[in-house]
Amino acid sequence: MNEPAFSPAADRNKQPILEVLQQVLPAQGHALEIASGTGQHVAWFAQHLTHWTWQPTDADAPALNSIDARIAQGRLANVHAPLLLDVLSPVWLPANTPPFDAIYCANMLHIAPWATCEALMHGAVRHLASSGMLITYGPYLEDEVATSPGNLGFDRDLRLQNPSWGIRRREDVELEAGKVGLRLAQRFAMPANNLLLVWTRTSTTV
């Protein structure tokens, strides 16, 4: 078996994220992960949230091999085989796919074109259960919060790599969410100047 890919950042932040998930998620459910990458997050969450089942996905086909290897390595019976999923596609999953209780997406919006934010919100509304939640994690700019020097430098570096990348304003993301009937229900300040945001349907409370 090939060794799964490894991300030091994912290894550092998996436990703080898990601790928030343990607060906001119900006791059991079915979750879809967007942009699973190395699979470190989904594997860690599945080990500790054993009454949840997890569907990892990624737009990068080689990433699926890493996720597969990590699932096998951890003998994780509550994680489905990873699927290829591009958020910009108008169809994410088959029409008969049951709705998800949670959709989780970490560290995607700032290393992808802005169109992925709109697509994420539209796809979440299509695939979330009525009481489900979209959970996003990563760095954000906020109008009322001073941006850390580290995030300012990170944003500059991202835009130099690709002009369509960059740390997103939380308020801009909220605007896109509102267009499809999602609202920001909870905001958690996380280590390394990141945020975990919980989005729910406007008629639903967490």
Report d(CA 3, CA 60) in Å as an integer.
17
Q: CA of 177: how far to CAs of 39, 78, 170, in Å?
A: 26, 30, 10
Express each pLDDT in 58-95 by its tens digit. Answer: 999 999 999 999 999 999 999 999 999 999 999 999 98
Side-chain half-sphere CA neighbours of 196 within 13 A: 19
Mean pLDDT across the chain: 96
Cross-strand pairs, 142? 145
Domains of the chain (ranges; CATH) run 10-22+29-201 (3.40.50.150)
The per-residue pLDDT for range 162-180, each reduced to its tens digit, is 999 999 999 999 999 999 9
